[in-house]
Chains A and B, each alone.
Chain A
Amino acid sequence: MPAPTVGQAPSLNTFLKSLKGTEIETSIELLISLLKRRQIKNSRPCAIATAKLLLQVVAEQRWRSAQDLIKRIRDVGRKLVAAQPREMAVGNIVRRVLGVVREVAEEDQDSTSNIAPESLPGSPAIVGQSLHRPALPSNISGFSPLSHGAALPQNVQTQPQSGTSSPSLDGSVDSPPRRPPMPNAGGSYAGAAPHTSLFGIFQHPQGASPIGTPPIGSGTASPIPKSKKDQEEQKEKLDIKAEVIDGIKDLLEELDIVDKQIAESALDHIHSNEIILTHTSSQTVQAFLTAAARKRKFTVIHVEAYPNDHESTHSTIVNGGQKTGDDAEGDERWKPLTAMGIKVIVIPDSAVFALMSRMNKVILAPHTVLANGSLIAAAGASTIAQAAKVHHVPVVVLSGVYKLSPVYPFDTDEMIEYGDPGKVIPYQDGEFMDKVDVVNPVYDFVDAELVDLYITNLGGHAPSYLYRIVADHYRTEDIDLTSKT
């Protein structure tokens, strides 16, 4: 793997700089290696890097069909996700971009032919619905109506159906470009609708094998509209690239302003003279508190998150947003809270329970938010959330939508990453290191029941509502990226 630039530790900034002149494959490899080496870490840098890389990928060449583009993005995305599966922001961004592409493709289709939905009457109900799905709210402004939340459950329903179809059909339908195997037959129609290849494939089974299962076999009306569509689609295709690029730029802009958007609601949640407990250093939380500090006086108890994040925590407390050297975080700078007249009290992690009875609010920043409202955050967060629950102190989680991952926590242990034990015990302590298992978990899983409120750039939500937002932002067919098509 090529080192990005000489003389500087590779980071988000160096990666972004190198992105322009470099060949796309090299850039992909570079990002993969940076992710693997944890030289780009934390949700935001990962998200930005991924989005910028995908932008290059899309701009790389002319795309003959949206299907090709989706395939390409999926391939790149799969590699990136495999490089660092625990940085779920990477996968989230890939899914968002895929969503953009699908949306663009569908818009084209909708505008060119309204027949499409009816064209597959026999196929599962989803097809119709997904096609009608309105624009993916890449800008967040568009909140989709209820019906779209239904995508997830429906997908589950369709799986049995695909099972009933003959194996041969399945095999041919699952052509690599379009779709992950998990949401088998049903889900894939939706995304792939506009494409020639897809429809061609569907026709095949119909014609070739009379065994075709009832749903598919009954789609007799489809062939004609499809071919019509194909022609029109090719004309529209030229626009796809530009539109997708716009979509990704919107996404980048969202990443850029997400803190500001979240901070806008600060005054709705923080009142004067409050005592607020927060944990580790997070740009989002700092922006939120800073916004409130402009108007109100309160006290912040800052838990330092030893041993993984205490240095950045201390530096955030003392220096605010001034980062040293080429830090991977963005260029944003902000004044430390203390300079705004906010009293900040630093405590070690162990003092959380002792102080919790006097707190008014706990504000946490997640690493990733899962679809059921639970979250992954820096180690120590679950203790804080539990203590808050015990003392009936509300726990508020500030998270950009990009941290929202469509993953359900079936196995929470595997989402926890383990860090360098040298941060706990110096390696000079040879014997100790040798004989004692020193374990340094980096993340904690915080259950949804411990969280009282999520504040995202869309506003405030109950944890139980998050699955809706997930459904609004990710296509069912994109949820499983890791599978080999």
Chain B
Amino acid sequence: MSEQQKPAEAPQGEQKLSPAELKKRAKAEKQARRAAQKGEQGGPSQDNAPPNGEPKGQKPSGAPGPAQQKPKVEKQPQKGAHKPSEQDSKKQGTAQQTTMPVRNRRASQSGGGAPREQAKKQENKNVELFSHLYTQPRRQTIEGAPKDVHPSVLALGLQISSYEICGSTARCVAMLNAFKDAILEYNTPAGASLARHLTSHYLSPQIDYLKSCRPISESMGNAIRWLKKLIVEIDPNLPDHEAKNYVCDQIDRFIQERITVADQAIATSASSQIKNGSVVLTYAKSSIVEKTILQSHANGTQFRVIVLDSRPLFEGKNLATRLMHAGLQVEYFPFSGIARAMSDATLVLLGAHSMLSNGRLQSRIGTASIAMAAHRADVPVIVCCESVKFSGKVALDSIVINEVAPSEELLLPPSKTAPTPVKTDDDEEEVKLRGLQDWKEIPNLQILNLMYDVTPAEYIRMVICEYGSVPPSSVPVVHRLVNEGM
């Protein structure tokens, strides 16, 4: 526990990074340096802002990191300009602030933080415990995307980063389709073979671009691995267009086999678990759970559905709307209503982001709480998951493997009941009431928006995949057979 608490030990955390992460970080840094250079040419004048303008009360003295850097603040006022957090850089858009968050983090420890008024806002807003998860900010525009990224992929990236395409399966299918478009327009340069050139020189930038929009899901990873293997194994003598057609056909087959048909199989199998009079509880939105419920409804089973939902994505509302249109009896609970909802439920159906090899389920944040409540109430928990989402990774908690979404997503539009205008009734404190929207200006305040959590295997009664219903302990077996043994 102590590591998370002691900021001073952050460097230790760095050492723990996997090689892949280090590579990513290095890349990010390089990019950052370039951006910073560019920025400095643009607007160096900002550095000359008057120093020491900072009211002492505002110094984030509580946060250990900032506290450390305090002594140095006066000495190197200029350096601070390069340490804005990612969100700040996005918001303020000033040229020299485009530093990447990773770099930002390290730099801030080596001493920095401008004494300017702005410096306060640049307090690190990343939650220490999850510092390994704050990589680059999500790309929200196509600006600066590598030239060789195919337009379909460009568009997809934006759709993904804005959650327009959301959900592990949907993202995977959309990615494969975009890759198909991209591959069809690929031409092998002279002197190279498609099998050798396509993956490394053409597909990789596309993948990197997608990763910069949002970290890729396990299903996407599995699909990419499959695709790379497929391409490498293409006979080098095959003519270009034939090879491309072959790849595209194979992609279609993959989608068909591993996702479409798999979904049907799972829906059929899982819908048999829904009996007349069942009360099915589900959380957020999973395409496969939706299919299962609709299938069961189509089979004429009489049952009720409880949808639990959570901030900030409100995916469950979509699911509830669709089920409502299908004529099902639906109840909709906010996340806080778990206890109440669970008292009625007879079955919990969950979707998955990924099934980990130690039998744990990685899924939308909140899933673990639902499974726990179900376990306590002796309600069976069934996970519906295509084998393409099975993963070789293992995780014990939700902290090491996860994704941090921008905190801004958690801010609510100011409502009528929110703090009303400025109220300065006491002379001593002329602080106007602030809302959470101002969180960046408030030292020591952070907002954490995690995407996933990991559900312990003991809460899961059964995993239904297209190969049948297996206990969570069998996940690694299926994974090896299907994703690696192919």
Contact = CB atoms under 8 A, between A and B. Distances in A.
A441 B337 contact: yes
Interface in A365-417: 378-380, 382-383, 386-387, 390, 413, 416
Given A350-B366, A435-B330, A317 B453 contact: no
A382 B330 contact: no
B187 interface: no
B417 interface: yes
Instruction: Name which of B337, B365, B431 has the most chain A CB atoms within 10 A of its CB.
Output: B337
A342 B433 contact: no
B333 A439 contact: yes
Contacts, number: 217
A353 B423 contact: no
Interface string A305-346: 111101100110111001011000000000011111111111
B422 to A, nearest CB: 11
A380 B368 contact: no
A267 interface: no
A325 B420 contact: yes
B11 interface: no
Contact of A345 (B337, B341, B364, B446): B446
Instruction: Name which of A305, A306, A348, A380 has the most chain B CB atoms within 10 A of its CB.
Output: A348
Instruction: Name which of A308, A343, A413, A440 has the most chain B CB atoms within 10 A of its CB.
Output: A343
Main secondary structure, interface of A, reads mixed
A432 interface: yes
Contacts of A340: 62
Interface stretch (A137-145, A165-173, A354-362, A464-472): A354-362
A418 to B, nearest CB: 9
A383 B373 contact: yes
Interface stretch (B1-9, B41-49, B263-271, B288-296): B1-9
Interface residues on B, range: 35 or more
A342 to B, nearest CB: 6
Given A319-B419, A345-B127, A437 B365 contact: no
A291 B437 CA distance: 27
Contacts of B332: 424-425, 432, 436-439
A297 interface: yes
Interface in B71-129: 127, 129
A229 B320 CA distance: 71
Contacts of A348: 310-312, 335, 365, 410, 449
B453 A353 contact: yes
Interface stretch (B13-21, B152-160, B394-402): B394-402
Contacts of A444: 336, 339-340
B442 interface: yes
Contact of B334 (A317, A382, A416, A424): A424
Contacts of B343: 413
A444 to B, nearest CB: 5
A342 B62 contact: yes
B436 A338 contact: no
A352 to B, nearest CB: 6
Contact of A350 (B341, B365, B423): B365
B450 A351 contact: yes
A352 B338 CA distance: 13
Interface residues of A, number: 66
Contacts of A315: 418-419, 433, 435
Given A437-B330, A441-B340, A319 B433 contact: yes
A347 B423 CA distance: 27
A297 B8 CA distance: 15
Nearest to A273: B5
Given A339-B57, A350-B311, A360 B372 contact: no
A298 to B, nearest CB: 8
B435 A318 contact: yes
Nearest to A357: B397
A428 to B, nearest CB: 13
B438 A324 contact: no
Nearest to B397: A357
A15 interface: no
A346 B444 contact: no
Given A346-B447, A351-B448, A432-B324, 8 more contacts: A306-B334, A345-B127, A358-B129, A378-B336, A386-B373, A435-B324, A436-B321, A436-B332
CB-CB nearest 5 A-B residue pairs:
A341-B62, A350-B366, A354-B398, A379-B336, A354-B453
8 contacts: A317-B436, A319-B419, A322-B429, A345-B127, A346-B446, A350-B364, A354-B453, A379-B336
Interface of B: 1-2, 4-6, 57, 60-64, 127, 129, 310-312, 317, 320-321, 324, 330-341, 343, 364-366, 368-369, 372-373, 376, 397-399, 402, 410, 412, 415, 417-420, 423, 429, 431, 433-436, 438-439, 442-450, 452-454
Interface of A: 273-275, 297, 299, 305-308, 310-311, 314-315, 317-319, 322, 324-325, 336-355, 357-358, 360, 378-380, 382-383, 386-387, 390, 413, 416, 423-425, 431-432, 435-441, 444-445
